[in-house]
Structure 1
């Protein structure tokens, strides 16, 4: 059952609290025995917990401190600030969840295969990192944590404590493909099909239905199948088909190790370090086939109606090719079909909704696939984010395209790929397991992450000044102070570009030109553009236009109630996932827990988050269907 008690209170990334304690270099730092100090501190921590000595427990925390929990004691995603608040929470939850068996983690311990160590991050900041394993009850779970402690006058004090569930002890995750038993509703003949196979054939209710078979959907399918749930996934197309339909030059900006599905690393014979659309589709299809996943491609979910008395969903299905329909029943649904980036709701600037006498091709990036329509044409791309740059590079590489101009409305944060890439992928070099990298990547509270990223990006900006000067000479408007975390969590990574494609080279060679202003309409010869400062209007000549203008924030509950995708009562309950937001603790509203509906989960975001999100969803669902989901005791 998804966490339902107390809906999250919206917050803003800019308002999240933060603190970086000053830890200057110590004289004895090189001789500090990190593992011994970590073991001694964890003994004090576990003794205080197991003896319910909450005064001593509180004394182990610094004055400014945080606890970030992923479904251990809270069985929720929570971030609690302050030692009194943290101590009160543990005191409240410990009698039911019974945290115990604390031990130092390291190699061989899932999700924390990193040894304890004293880690210096900057000349003014260092922590004693204490990775540990422990257990909780009701349900019995294997858990891990990492305490980042700082030195005080007499002892170590916790600055940030992060804890995460790993697995249910009674229902551990199993290797795939798993043996099909008599309890499985989906037969071996209907597993492992990456192409349309028709509608499913079974009568009893499933434990879960996953809606959407992209990377997030497949991640949820993998983890639910691995934990032993009766699950099926439905998608309009075959795995990765949406990536094949995008512009042909599309290529992921993150390396294979970082984007891999749970339990299925990218096979070595897919040689590219950064997959293109075709390679990603191939990888996803092979995952379905090799892991024998219960995916039904070419099947559209048309409606979901919840029966309150029976606690079951009726899911209506339509086979895309034949139009045949059927229904299945399920206890839970997991929505993973791109609700943040809704391609059905592209942003079309108001002035461009009527083309008037303009007769050239006009496509939103959701429609753009090849450069064919733009050959021989002066092409303008409206926008300056990732898709705008990638498409500009694609067009610019085609000598048959007469000219390429990118229209900037406001400054863009731009980074040379070779400079930024090592920073963002530092944990994903393959020297630690990917689930450990995921845990470490998510360990900081959002306010601290915001400020840490802000400082790091400021250094990257300094190192990029030579490039920026050259780009500005070509007319680029550059944002040197982006709030990176705000744009990721609230603005769908708006106006940030990492030049993996090599668009900057074409800008510097004048193959891609830069123009400024806001589009207000079409004219026969191109676009009417208004200057941001003078508000004067001018004509930007064009024979073809690509709109790289993003996706609208939508009222998904209202939209789904109107279309019948969700029954009206359920639609009223859910959080609006068409408006990305965080709560006052810095947790993503509606994702993974607290969807608003007790048997509906939202689980879909960036590649690297899909693995941990799918783990948390699978554990909640398996606990629920076996009557082990705990009550949520914290407001």
Structure 2
């Protein structure tokens, strides 16, 4: 056994050596002695070909026994090219944290080990991550393996680079292996990963210009997290970029990214429907161009990269049809200048509702914010950035691996602590909001804004000034429950007063992604796949970044960081399927998942 020591590298090397020996010799007693009773193993494709988290020493040993035979994990070593083993605090616990490398019969991987003392001060594994980095024989094209392109001996009458790029993007007489639906950060990230794995991939997006999914959002929008967290794969933002990226700057970067990464991208193209041919193992999908023409394609894989949901949620408010002014969903809102001197009502108190209310107020409109349910409020600095503190130091690759390594239980524990810290920072603001009747919420079990996002895609606001306006009464606040009915000129309150309005903005979010799946693929596929996003009773996001029970159908969504990290693992699975290393669909139910 390992005794507690100040030399964290020796402790790590000793544990890894014993772990490898125990796996190789099927020494269950030794293996069990290496894990703390409260321990967590997250495997990301490396041994199980799944994204899964196992809790507790006994369950971990059982799963390792089941997976080791097929994967043959070995060559566990501290990675000399990553951050050295060190003492850190994770989820409020002091631990030794080390990044290591290893390999299996089919691939090479990276992992993170965290050691804490057990009874008697013996160091044992508290958390373990094993994550696949690359497939042997199918490594990414970069560095020494980068494509050579046209050699120094050129055919001056043949096609040049531009001719070849145009031909590749036209898909005349050929089909893509993978069709990616949606050209935002999710679509670009996974398409870039697939490109590096030499998988023919086409992105389609209904907008007329690359980046319009950001460019067309409301005028004042900037990202709410900082630039160092938000890089796309392979191409970090330039060092002179602002801390908070404006929407138009990001949209223009998307255009540059598509060009630089040589991604095939069809703008003005809407995915209308898809049916799967089980015998052929291919989809038949209908794409409609803005000129009305259609193209039927037969990709083996379809990746839905349309965001957490693409269908606006329009609440059923029967009396709303009596209102004779303008009604917009937040996705339709662009700018407040047209409403100067007029009265606006914004229904919804998430990020979009607050930002739109603030934009209208800045444009000279009289604004009332309507709250439907309690909302989490946190100042954008420093509180909202606490979750990303690790990205202020170290390399992007190390921090992405650290983010990947945190099991759900400990991630929640960390965010409870962060939420308590942010409440202290934000106390004057929160007290001011409560004084004007704003109803506050801090997430399920106090887990904060990030788990609101991961569970429901919203329900919080990063304060960039609107909450201060509400607390000071410069933007009025009403509760939806106090509205009796909407009338021609606005809303009649239960108190008898009429809240006058020329504009009503429904900042009411989006429907769950299952609605879009049903619209595009039908009831059968929707029922087969099941819920998308959120955790259910499992420890991984449902049907995200991994094989679904519908062969050839994938989902990717989330922040730029989530898409950068998880696009790697989604692309590796598609490559493994394309090369015959992995079945096309997962079993109906995985260990530890919902």
- Tell me the TM-score normalized by structure 1: 0.83
Residue 108 of structure 2 aligns with which residue? 142
Query: Which of 110, 125, 131 is the aligned partner of 2:99?
Result: 131
1:383-532 matches, within 5 Å, as 383-399=348-364, 401=365, 403-429=366-392, 431-479=393-441, 482-484=446-448, 486-494=451-459, 496-499=460-463, 501-518=464-481, 519-529=483-493
Residue 566 of structure 1 aligns with which residue? 521
Residue 293 of structure 2 aligns with which residue? 324
Contact 1:396 1:506 in 2 (8 A): no
Residue 153 of structure 2 aligns with which residue? none
1:230-379 matches, within 5 Å, as 230-237=200-207, 238-268=209-239, 271-320=241-290, 322-338=291-307, 340-342=308-310, 344-354=311-321, 356=322, 358-379=323-344
1:56-67 matches, within 5 Å, as 56-67=30-41
Contact 1:557 1:572 in 2 (8 A): no
Structure 2: give runs of 5+ residues left out of the alignment: 151-158
The Cα offsets for residues 2-59 of structure 1, whole Å up to 9 and x where unpaired, read as: xxxxxxxxxxxxxxxxxxxxxxxxxx99x82222221222222122122221221111
- Aligned equivalents of 1:290 and 1:486: distance in 2? 34
- Aligned equivalents of 2:59 and 2:500: distance in 1? 61
Residue 13 of structure 1 aligns with which residue? none
- Aligned equivalents of 2:258 and 2:199: distance in 1? 17
- Aligned equivalents of 1:541 and 1:206: distance in 2? 54
Residue 499 of structure 2 aligns with which residue? 540
- Aligned equivalents of 1:599 and 1:192: distance in 2? 26
User: 1:422 Cα shift?
Assistant: 3.5
Contact 2:225 2:385 in 1 (8 A): no
User: 1:180 Cα shift?
Assistant: 6.0
- Aligned equivalents of 2:65 and 2:196: distance in 1? 34
Contact 1:256 1:274 in 2 (8 A): yes
- Aligned equivalents of 2:18 and 2:98: distance in 1? 13
Point out the more displaced range, 66-75 or 596-605: 596-605
User: 1:567 Cα shift?
Assistant: 6.2
Point out the more displaced range, 208-217 or 259-268: 259-268
- Counterpart check, 1:100 vs 2:70: no
The Cα offsets for residues 268-293 of structure 1, whole Å up to 9 and x where unpaired, read as: 46x33212221111010010111211
Q: 1:314 to 1:199 in 2, by over 3 A?
A: farther
- Tell me the TM-score normalized by structure 2: 0.89
- Aligned equivalents of 2:488 and 2:294: distance in 1? 47
User: 1:598 Cα shift?
Assistant: 2.0
SS in 1 for 2:412: helix
- Aligned equivalents of 1:554 and 1:261: distance in 2? 23
Q: 1:341 to 1:190 in 2, by over 3 A?
A: farther
Contact 1:306 1:567 in 2 (8 A): no
User: 1:520 Cα shift?
Assistant: 4.9
- Aligned equivalents of 1:200 and 1:520: distance in 2? 56
When you count helix as a share of all residues, which structure comes out higher? 2
- Counterpart check, 1:37 vs 2:11: yes
- Aligned equivalents of 2:35 and 2:24: distance in 1? 17
Contact 2:42 2:128 in 1 (8 A): yes
* Alignment RMSD (CA, Å): 2.8
- Aligned equivalents of 1:380 and 1:406: distance in 2? 6
Q: 1:556 to 1:507 in 2, by over 3 A?
A: closer
Residue 17 of structure 1 aligns with which residue? none
Structure 1: give runs of 5+ residues left out of the alignment: 1-27, 531-535
1:14-163 matches, within 5 Å, as 32-106=6-80, 108=81, 113-120=82-89, 125-137=93-105, 140-152=106-118, 153-163=120-130
